[in-house]
Amino acid sequence: MTPTAIIVLAAGRGTRMRSGLPKVLHRVAGRSMLGHVLSAAGELEPRRAVVVTGPDMPAVEREARRFMPVAQFAVQPQQKGTAHAAGFARDELAGFEGVTLVLYGDVPLVRAGTLQRLAREVSADAPLVILAFEADDPKGYGRLILDAGGPVRAIREEKDACDEEKRITLCNSGIIAIDNALLWELLPEIGNANAQGEYYLTDIVELAAQAGREVRHVRCDEPEVLGVNDRAQLAVAERLMQRRLRARALANGVTLIDPDSVFLSADTEIAPDVLIEPWVFIGPGVSIAEGAVIRAHSHLEEASVGPRAQVGPFARLRPGAEIRETAKVGNFVEVKKAVIEEGAKVNHFTYIGDARVGAGANIGAGTITCNYDGANKHFTDIGKGAFIGSNSALVAPVRIGEGAYVGSGSVITKDVAPGALAVARGRQVEKPGWAARRKAKAGTQD
């Protein structure tokens, strides 16, 4: 494949988002929109990458480097249109020979395969290719004006289109692939004599056609090139991305009892033969191994679930939770930065944080690891085969030895030796006849 470079336009402040966060950092399926675009483009293995940002956007640069460490950055001081923005990438692409793709940081649904098709279509005969789509409602989009033989003659923006042109349904996505030398030859010729007074990158099509260069187009589905400008469109992008992620999971052998009620993240890894019940939310950084079961109303983020393990219902796995093979985490259990080893059970109303629960151990209902002293976090180590009675508090740092027992209702502040029984609670006292005497006394006072 011809060497590729990418320019990603990401300078928008997102005024219509009503947010202090740069627009491209808003998330779809747990990943920033910019991250989605760079992930798709990364599959082309671009030789060079330039992200055009606005002034004072260090967070955008940090996010871009997460997904494309080789990215360079250019700053567009004022927003005067897409051609104006792309022009700031000139220095970083000087001397590059190949195909340059111009992408948008707020188009998170674009697929790597589509970008590959677009780049492959560029040739000496057709050095500019447009990504286009058939719109259900073309209002607001630029229309592709085609010659009789099929090449693209121009792109007409909605505000500059005549009535006949407005009836065209073949629309411009904004994404192009172009020979890099031609890009920098034509870009300076783009003017701003239009209704918006901006420098449109789309005008490069007409300039190329006038110069005798053939311009072609590649089509994709309309949802793939949805641009996000406000919260309503962000919600639409989320819904479309969730539909895509669920379909991929189902195709890979995952059972989703009610797909529409399961929310996944872009980086979720789910092995075949996993069962996920309704109303499960999976945040970023989650992997679920073969044969695991995630029961209803559970919430997982930055956690791993081992083979044939069970989680939920109503369980919460927070960052650092590692549920190993055949372990069980039951209803109303929260696990944070802790390992639940093979075959261990934490079944009811329990908090396990900054801890290890050894293989085959059993944690009774209502148990908590008291891991925070108000200033620092401390570790609790529960040995293999240990049994922690219900309603116990393990005050970290503390170690429960292998096979040890902790009596129900205990507050454990010292290490428990392997195989020992530890009971730390007030002694039960019984006073025969006390209730009857109390009732009699109360009656005389009346």
CB atoms within 10 A of CB 150: 9
Give one DSSP letter per residue of 24-55, joined into a string.
GGSEETTEEHHHHHHHHHHTT--SEEEEEE-S
* 244: Cα within 13 Å, side-chain hemisphere: 17
Six-digit token string for 379: 């570790």
Give one DSSP letter per residue of 313-325, joined into a string.
SS-EE-TT-EE-T
Distance CA 147, CA 393 (A): 77
Note whether 353 and 370 are within 8 A (CB): no
Strands 27-28 and 31-32: antiparallel
Note whether 110 and 133 are within 8 A (CB): no
Sign of CA dihedral 164, 166, 168, 170: positive
Q: How many helices (H) and strands (E) does the chain have?
A: 9, 33
Choose, from 217, 299, 348, 378, the residue flagged as catalytic.
348
Closest CA to 36 of 61, 67, 73: 67
Give one DSSP letter per residue of 378-399, joined into a string.
--EEE-TT-EE-TT-EEESSEE
26 is annotated as an active-site residue: no
- CB-based burial of residue 86 (10 Å sphere; 0-12 exposed, 13-18 middle, 19+ buried)? buried
Closest CA to 173 of 147, 195, 205, 148: 205
**What's phi and psi for 53, nearest 5 deg?**
-115, 175
Catalytic residue numbers read: 348
